[in-house]
Structure 1
Amino acid sequence: MKIACIDMEGVLIPEMWPHIADFTGIQSLAITTREEPDYVQLVAKRISILNENRLGIADIEYMISKLAPLPGAIEFLKQLQKHYRIVLVSDAFQEMLLPLWHTLGQPELRCHRLICKANGQIRQARFSRAQGKHEVIEEFAAMGARTLAVGDAFNDLSMLRKATQGYLFRPSAETQQAAPDLRIALSYQDILDGIMLEHGSALSVN
């Protein structure tokens, strides 16, 4: 069994919160896990800022609906599916991801949930993992699976290190400095080329 655990934001889709920051003009929403590795603290700050500005889940969904997957992302997943079961492993929230998830072909999705009030105000986050994305890798490893993992930020590092084959995708300088042990991929093709060496067959996003 071969399973590919792929991060979404920064790998398959644009970072959503910088987009929301640009859309609303609230630049404090632009900080991501590339800059703030404590994700629970980061989410609490975001929810507080949204509530202070009277922005609810419907507003967020509308803003995200204006985004599209990164160029080549859909074809990349199609190529991976030739050899792997695809699992999208995201620290984002299902309520925000659904439009883009449908566009990506609706692979299996492991993410968090938002708890909202009746008026759409976001009350709190409900996290699906206690420690990090590596829990998903450990689950599959216990089943005897070989795993490929791709991510771009601090919150992906434990997942990449636990995987059979891990790639740090177009990382920031800060993230790359924190993970000199990991392989860097600057394009989807870099990842497919690495897979080709294992499977002996060419894969291409072109």
Structure 2
Amino acid sequence: MLVAVLIANPDRPAITDAVLAESRRVLATEHPTRILHREVAAEILVPGAPSDAAAFTERLRTALGGEPLDIAVLPADAHRRKRLFLADMDSTMIEQECIDELAGTLGFKDHVAAITERAMRGEIAFEPALRERVALLKDIPVGVVDGLIADTLTLTPGGRTLVRTMAAHGAHTCLVSGGFTLFTGPIAAKLGFAEHRANRLAVEDGKLTGSVEDPIVGKAEKRATLMELRDRFGLAPAETMAVGDGANDLDMLGEAGLGVAFRAKPAVAAAARARVEHADLTALLYLQGYAASEFVG
């Protein structure tokens, strides 16, 4: 059995009776609709095998293409609610790229942001691009990070609810970033993650040295982190979920039982099992079958 999930942004409810009727017609299902959140999220059971999910998803997206909805058709199995959750940070759990904001304190944010964009699109290799950008940050006082966290960085809507709801239902949560521990520590604490992994910036006399310590947390390390935690907790691959937006998340998303591209670069959106373009991060709870009444704020 499969389940088709329709999700709108909570600020722009769009799941009308007409949308649900058309969905059931396209899916040719007699199963009733389950409302997860009025006009924001709903799901419908659909007879079919896992191999049919992609075709059903595209069929629904085509039929409802004019609606501001995120759509995914997924297996309705015993592992639908995940027990391990890994998330990227920059442009996923927060709305900015930390390295770009650090560069902004020296007046060359646009230059660094252009490199970041190319790396996240997969146009250039992540590791050398990271080292190139970090070198430009030399002599920034470490205290600048606290100011950016307090005054500039914003949490992506729905993120705190996503993490805390999964934790409350027994999932282990990890923030894993190609960014820096100076940021992931405080951000993980704000969001409620159990742990965090990221790159370490070298510091001397209270200032950044312009170098980053090895090993680099990039595409391979993110995937390795998921596998390590999966093995630590004795979980099946299907019991894991990951979310990200950039090319360095691709291996992690591919390894996860459910890989979700969140407002992602085109190559990432095309490769992921599910993608979220309209909704906030609570969409990842609806994809797992949580109703809004089960959310933990």
| Residue of 117, 126, 133 corresponding to 1:46 | 133
Letter paired with 2:274: R
Q: Tell me the CA shift for residue 173 of structure 1.
A: 2.7
Change (3 A) 1:142 1:107: closer
Letter paired with 1:137: L
Alignment of 1:158-177 (within 5 A): 158-177=251-270
Change (3 A) 1:63 1:4: same
Letter paired with 2:209: I
CA contact (8 A) 2:87 2:243 kept: yes
Structure 1 residue 120 corresponds to structure 2 residue 202: no
Residue in structure 1 matched with residue 246 of structure 2 by the alignment: 153
Residue in structure 2 matched with residue 58 of structure 1 by the alignment: 143
CA contact (8 A) 2:84 2:240 kept: yes
Q: Which secondary structure does the structure 2 equivalent of 1:10 belong to?
A: helix
Cα separation, 1, equivalents of 2:231 and 2:147 = 39
1:183-206 per-residue CA deviation (whole Å, 9 max, x = no partner) reads 21233233212111xxxx424589
Q: Which secondary structure does the structure 1 equivalent of 2:188 belong to?
A: helix
CA contact (8 A) 2:260 2:276 kept: yes
Change (3 A) 1:111 1:119: closer
Moved more, 153-162 or 113-122: 113-122
CA contact (8 A) 2:85 2:241 kept: yes
Residue in structure 2 matched with residue 25 of structure 1 by the alignment: 107
Residue in structure 1 matched with residue 92 of structure 2 by the alignment: 11
TM-score by structure 2 length?
0.59
Letter paired with 1:139: E
Percentage identity across aligned positions?
25
1:92-132 per-residue CA deviation (whole Å, 9 max, x = no partner) reads 11123333233223531122212222251324212455833
Q: Tell me the CA shift for residue 168 of structure 1.
A: 0.9
Residue in structure 2 matched with residue 103 of structure 1 by the alignment: 190
Cα separation, 2, equivalents of 1:46 and 1:2 = 35
Structure 1 residue 140 corresponds to structure 2 residue 229: yes
Q: Which secondary structure does the structure 2 equivalent of 1:50 belong to?
A: coil
1:144-180 per-residue CA deviation (whole Å, 9 max, x = no partner) reads 3121111111111100100111111111235335x2x
| Structure 1 gaps, min length 5 | none
CA contact (8 A) 2:88 2:249 kept: yes
Structure 1 residue 80 corresponds to structure 2 residue 161: no
Cα separation, 2, equivalents of 1:87 and 1:40 = 22
Structure 1 residue 70 corresponds to structure 2 residue 159: no
Q: Which secondary structure does the structure 2 equivalent of 1:18 belong to?
A: helix
Count of residue correspondences: 198
CA contact (8 A) 2:135 2:210 kept: no
Letter paired with 1:154: A
Q: Which secondary structure does the structure 1 equivalent of 2:185 belong to?
A: helix
CA contact (8 A) 2:164 2:192 kept: no
Cα separation, 1, equivalents of 2:130 and 2:264 = 21
Q: Which secondary structure does the structure 2 equivalent of 1:115 belong to?
A: strand
Cα separation, 2, equivalents of 1:96 and 1:57 = 11
Letter paired with 1:62: G
Cα separation, 2, equivalents of 1:73 and 1:150 = 11
Cα separation, 2, equivalents of 1:126 and 1:78 = 31
Q: Tell me the CA shift for residue 37 of structure 1.
A: 5.0
Moved more, 87-96 or 105-114: 105-114
Change (3 A) 1:125 1:171: same
Q: Tell me the CA shift for residue 64 of structure 1.
A: 3.5
CA contact (8 A) 2:84 2:230 kept: no
Taking only aligned residues, the RMSD between alpha carbons, in angstroms, comes to 2.6
Change (3 A) 1:205 1:16: farther
Cα separation, 1, equivalents of 2:145 and 2:174 = 24
Letter paired with 1:193: Y
CA contact (8 A) 1:189 1:205 kept: no
Letter paired with 2:194: P
Letter paired with 1:185: V
